[in-house]
Structure 1
Amino acid sequence: MNFDEMYKNILNEHRQVFETLDQSKLQEFMELIINAKRIFLMGVGREGLATRGFAMRLMHMGKETHWVWDDTTPNVQPGDLFIFTSGSGEIGHIHFVAEMAKAAGAKLAVVTGTRTGKTPALADFVLWVPAHVYKGTDKVVPSKQPMGNLFEQTLFVLFDIIVMMLMDTLNISEAAMISRHRNVE
């Protein structure tokens, strides 16, 4: 494939994923975020990069947000929301942390491409992203891209859409978000 064929194919794959996404589940996910006292997030690899970007934007919105791998992350408590991204739903150390967070009383939300994985089965809420994912087993939008590219790319865009929808819902301006941006860089 040449460049034009590749980008058109990738954009078409994304269109299919976003047109298939359950918007009612998206609204439910947003309500969990709105109502959470504190939000913890975890993901690994390229999924983790998208999730970490989402954590940053939630903080810019004024939510108390913690990335689980940071040394300054406090203990998880009842009333907290813990968002995990696990494309296959079978990532061992993510599942282990999910079990610990649930035992600590947090509400678990898993964003996944495989609803039948062991971590989605443990979760209180599952946001299914119907995109091809590395080691996934669900019937999803197929991809000509390698490994989990489609799922990982979708997370970046989906999380940005969620932030923009939350900004509208909560009447948060971009200026308010900019005021919370790190100012020591």
Structure 2
Amino acid sequence: MFVDGEGRSGFQAKSFAMRLMHIGYQIYVMGETITPAIRQGDIYIAISGSGKTKNTVNNTLAAKKLGATIIAVTSKQDSDLAKIADETILVPGKVKNDKTTTSIQLLSSLFDQSVHIVLDCLCLMLSKRDNISEEIANKNHINIE
């Protein structure tokens, strides 16, 4: 399984990857030096509020051509990213340069915060489904004392 995103969406992707690792999933972040090659049948999760972030869209297209299953996390159902995806998690929230949604928060903060909550909820659902307890997850957490 792979996650991808640029800027603050990239931070959300890394946060999601960390929690997935805690609950026992083998997960990689695009752009890291230890990320292996994508192969047919892999799951590729791309996060972009606008759904048009150039690097994220290009990487997602490449993953699709390699046979990965694409899951887009975006606020724009009609975006390039959503059109590539096999499945889309639609997360409402203002993104930068968005003229159709309003927020007192700057740029994409509302989307970023909402994505964090949605993906943490997904991890909770997966942990419940997979019977992963706090104790089990804690064994995968860094505990240097």
Pair 1:114-2:114 in alignment: no
Residue in structure 2 matching 1:164, options 121, 124, 128: 124
Moved over 2 A (4+): 182-185
Pair 1:53-2:51 in alignment: no
Per the TM alignment, residue 184 of structure 1 is displaced from its structure 2 partner at its CA by 5.4
Pair 1:127-2:127 in alignment: no
1:136 and 1:48 map into 2 onto residues whose CA distance is: 19
- What amino acid is aligned across from residue 124 of structure 1 in structure 2? D
Q: Which residue of the partner structure matches residue 62 of structure 2?
A: 100
1:85-123 Cα shifts (integer Å, max 9, x gaps): 011011111111011101111001000011111111111
On the 8 A contact 1:51/1:155 being kept in 2, the answer is: no
Q: Which residue of the partner structure matches residue 24 of structure 1?
A: none
Q: Which residue of the partner structure matches residue 103 of structure 2?
A: 143
Matches within 5 A, 1:36-75: 39-75=1-37
Structure 1 residue runs of 5 or longer lacking an equivalent are 1-38
Note closer, same or farther for the CA distance 1:108–1:55 as it changes in structure 2 (3 Å cut).
same
- What amino acid is aligned across from residue 112 of structure 1 in structure 2? T
On the 8 A contact 2:6/2:55 being kept in 1, the answer is: no
1:59 partner SS: helix
Structure 2 residue runs of 5 or longer lacking an equivalent are none
1:56 and 1:136 map into 2 onto residues whose CA distance is: 29
Structure that is richer in helix per residue: 1
1:114 partner SS: coil
Per the TM alignment, residue 182 of structure 1 is displaced from its structure 2 partner at its CA by 2.9
1:144 and 1:150 map into 2 onto residues whose CA distance is: 9
Q: Which residue of the partner structure matches residue 152 of structure 1?
A: 112
- What amino acid is aligned across from residue 79 of structure 2 in structure 1? G
On the 8 A contact 1:87/1:136 being kept in 2, the answer is: no
1:135 and 1:123 map into 2 onto residues whose CA distance is: 23
1:64 partner SS: coil
2:98 and 2:24 map into 1 onto residues whose CA distance is: 34
1:85 and 1:106 map into 2 onto residues whose CA distance is: 15
On the 8 A contact 2:3/2:46 being kept in 1, the answer is: yes
Per the TM alignment, residue 146 of structure 1 is displaced from its structure 2 partner at its CA by 1.3
